[in-house]
Amino acid sequence: MKPILALSLLLHPLIAEAIPADEDFAWVIGGGPDVFKSQVQIERNVLWVLQAMEGLPGERNVRVFFTDGDEPTPDIHEWAAPPEAAAALQPLARVFNSYWRNGLRFRNHRIPAVVGTTAADRLTDALGADFRALHPGDRGWLLFIGHGTYHEDLDNRLELWNDTELGVGELQALLDEAPQQSRLRFLFTQCYSGAFAELATPGSNRCGFMAAAADEVSEGCSPAIEKRDYEDYSTYFFAALTGRPRDGAGLDGRPDWNTDGRVTPLEAHFHVLATAFSADIPRATSEVLLMQWQPGNLTDLLAHVDESENEYTGLALQMMRSSGIDPGRSAGEEMYRRQSRLQEQWERLEQSQERLREEIVSLQQGLQQQVLGRWPAAGAPYTLDYTRFLAEDLGHAQAFIEAHSDYPQLRQRQELHWQQDDLALQIRRAKNQLRKIGHLLRLGRLKAALERDGPEDLVERYRALRECESAPF
């Protein structure tokens, strides 16, 4: 993506002076609810955040909670493509539909200085004690890197170790134990994280950033050890804050939007919105406030868009230009055409994937029938007879599979299925760039309307959130 130009004139008012604080804190909470949902990307995202914070100005007391704490048992998994060889059991895995997990490895995490588990009861006890011990001038960040679940009442949950959960309401009660004058900010990267904007209650001196809407999934939970395609919120956010790309990614453009020599969290958030080629549409608490406001006089999003109106319309217009969309009268038609083409590609891909799945199942069933006809024990894993099969007949069975005329077709279709999964993600990301432009235009219209016609109490609330989001990390 082409660099997005700085919006210096628009963003000067966003900078707020740091609130004098006795101490800075950060609570980093990461991992999945069990070893099967605790992917290596989560571990690496936590390591990236810790490394990035070490490079930021100032000192902070960092407390890390991850999966099972310091227990030596496996709590994460990673995946790497196994060799296409009998020694790796790949022929047997392909025929018996385990090829997608052949190559998985389970191990203990490598997060340094973990102070505790994320199991809900022990985590809430630890956080509650920490929040109660804060002084009025203290500042803190609560950062969650893991999985989330959706609830219809939008009391969405953090998925924690041992299949426990922590909901928006429960976390809000914990944060309320901190002194009101302390500033607590948060960053949530999980699916359905937008609901946690409710933590920024009026008068609480709290604000933050979320990777996705309250009803949408987010990126960032891959078991693959390949890092070049990490496009999650934390990659871009902390690359912008530190000025250092993560493994060569996450730092397109210039994150110091107002060119004052420092990058605030809100500027880092703008950087994610403008440059991340991901399936997320992240949001700040001030943006959620705008979207919850429903003025009746919003004009057409693309009508008379002035780049100098505010930062959101400026970002949207520059995203359009970098995507080759002329922000003139026909911009809406061009965006609609692109969205339609991508939707057609998506639907064709879905149909192709369905046919491919049917072909894979048919080939597998035919090969399974012939293998089990010769070696019935191959279909009875976790039994004594299966150990005999592994010891005496595994080589013969896999040689039979590899020599079978259907096996090359099975391999080809399974590999194509992997490729189509990757293509589906790329189409989803491309569609999201167009959605993001519309999202930014709407935010621009809402902000302009709020500043022009909004009720005074809502304007003050909005300004307080922006000041909180714009203060240095």
pLDDT of residue 369: 98
pLDDT of residue 466: 97
What pLDDT band is residue 182 in, cutting at 50, 70 and 90? very high
Contact 158, 171 (CB under 8 A): yes
Q: How much is the average pLDDT of 207-211?
A: 97
pLDDT of residue 11: 42
Q: Is the pLDDT of residue 253 over 80?
A: no
What are the CA-CA distances from residue 316 to residues 311, 342, 355 (Å)?
Answer: 9, 20, 39
Contact 200, 285 (CB under 8 A): yes
pLDDT of residue 246: 84
CA-atom Rg of the chain in angstroms: 25
Q: Which amino acid is at 204?
A: S
What share of the chain has pLDDT > 90, as a percent? 73
Contact 33, 162 (CB under 8 A): yes
Tens digits of per-residue pLDDT, 296-330?
666 555 555 565 678 998 889 888 988 889 887 78
What share of the chain has pLDDT > 70, as a percent? 89
pTM: 0.89
Calculate helix-pair angle for 233-242, 265-275, nearest 10 degrees.
130
pLDDT of residue 301: 55
Give the pair of three-digit tokens for residue 341.
């083409």
Tens digits of per-residue pLDDT, 105-161?
999 999 999 999 999 999 999 999 999 999 999 999 999 999 999 998 889 999 999
User: How many Å from the N-terminal Cα to the C-terminal Cα in the chain?
Assistant: 27
Tens digits of per-residue pLDDT, 327-352?
877 888 899 999 999 999 999 999 99
Q: How much is the average pLDDT of 232-242?
A: 91
pLDDT of residue 154: 86
Pick from 208, 202, 181: nearest CA to 473: 208
Distance CA 437, CA 265 (A): 21
Q: How much is the average pLDDT of 386-398?
A: 97
CA atoms within 13 A on the CB side of 171: 29
Higher pLDDT, 260 or 69: 69
Contact 1, 277 (CB under 8 A): yes
pLDDT of residue 14: 38
Q: How much is the average pLDDT of 28-56?
A: 95
**Mean residue pLDDT across the chain:** 89
